[in-house]
Amino acid sequence: MTDTGYGTQMVEGPLTKSAIFLVLNVAATGASGEGGSATPVESVRSVLADLEDLVKTVGFRDPRTAVSCTVGIGDRVWGSLVGPAKPAELHPFREFAGDRHTAIATPGDLLFHIRSDREDLCFELERLLLDALGAAVTVADEVSGFRYFDTRDLLGFVDGTANPIGPDLPESALVGDEDPSFSGGSYAVVQKYLHPLADWQRLTTSEQEAIMGRTKADNVELDDAESGQKSHKTLATIEDEAGEHDIVRDNMPFARPGSGEFGTYFIGYSRHLWVIERMLERMFIGDPPGLHDRLLDFSTAMTGTTFFVPSAELLGSLDDEPADEPARGGDPAPGGDPGVSPTPEPVPAQEPTADPGAAPADASLGIGSLRNPPH
């Protein structure tokens, strides 16, 4: 939390009543950039560097409502947008295919996690942001989440209880001295899950509680199973000789009851990407392998994307000359886009399956037309 109550890169920010999860792809060079105008990479870099001003524009209008925007940058565009030096663990989302369920990887170059206690301010920030980005991006996914009762997911359980607090929060969420160029940043993993709610509601409360590992009404932890099937809570607990490795979650329910859509948008921030990956492995493959997380029998992962959230300081410097920024380091690579001086690498082409212009697999993803035309 900043002294103003609003800001950028607020990995440690408070849970809010509303949030928007916006995943974008950076357009290929050529979508703009002709006739001397900015290339997509230049446009995106400039918007990211000025993001704090955009948050101020909205946040100052009601400072008590904790407006924030936290940006993550994906592996595919990291080199072009930031520079050749890369966070130690950054790579594309790692898929986990179990016997029954798969954590699929889906495209996404930029994540904007927009939060506020006021839904209209989330909307306003997203509107201004997409307006500023114009044709430099295409929309891969957009989800508006809401806080449900006492921080419950749509399965009816209190979600987020085990999040670290106090000094454990930055310790778990923020990169430290182990990767000095990127300290203060965080790895972010997002997955959009859909629930067949009627099937879940056919279970008894005690069956649901055994799957989650907590009681439903009063949110008390249940003992771990001695052997056999483990609960979600136990499979998502990562322990080694160094102790327990926590992550920070800010899951949000989303829904369109008229279309039968009920979901949980999972977002995890972590100092170490491997911790979230180990959780996914234990959930999807199972521990022991074969005994997957039974939560997945009622939750289908529709997306899966990994990002690195640079510190606010690094984000604000993206428009500087590269020589001023050791973390961004390096000269433009030979053969790089000659029109973009601080860009060491061109944006690689999307994989065929990752075509940002492709028809969305999920009807709720097809909202690219919401963007205003470029100025």
- Which of the residues are catalytic? 159
Distance CA 360, CA 192 (A): 14
In whole angstroms, the minimum distance from the beta carbon of 272 to ligand HEM comes to 13
CB of 162 to ligand HEM, least distance (A): 3
- Residue 45 or 214 with smaller CB distance to ligand HEM: 214
- Please, what is the minimum distance in Å from the beta carbon of residue 358 to ligand HEM? 25
| Alpha helices, DSSP H, located in 134-268 | 168-173, 197-201, 205-212, 232-235
Q: In Å, how far are 162, 221, 233, 294 from 213, measured between CA atoms?
A: 12, 6, 5, 11
Q: Which of 70, 60, 81, 75 is nearest to 21 (CA)?
A: 70
Nearest distance, CB of residue 267 and ligand HEM, angstroms: 9
- Contact residues for ligand HEM, defined by CB under 6 A: 153, 155, 157, 159-162, 191, 193, 212, 214, 232-233, 236-237, 247, 249, 264, 266, 268, 276, 279-280, 299
Q: Which is nearer to ligand HEM, 32 or 219 (CB)?
A: 219
Residues facing 214 on adjacent strands: 221
SS3 10: coil
Q: 76 CB contacts (<8 Å, ≥6 apart)?
A: 92, 109, 347, 348, 350
Q: Which is nearer to ligand HEM, 34 or 226 (CB)?
A: 226
Does residue 303 contact residue 267 with C-beta atoms inside 8 Å? no
Instruction: Quote the CA–CA distance of 115 and 168 in Å, as a whole number.
Output: 22
State which residue, 16 or 350, has the beta carbon closest to ligand HEM. 16
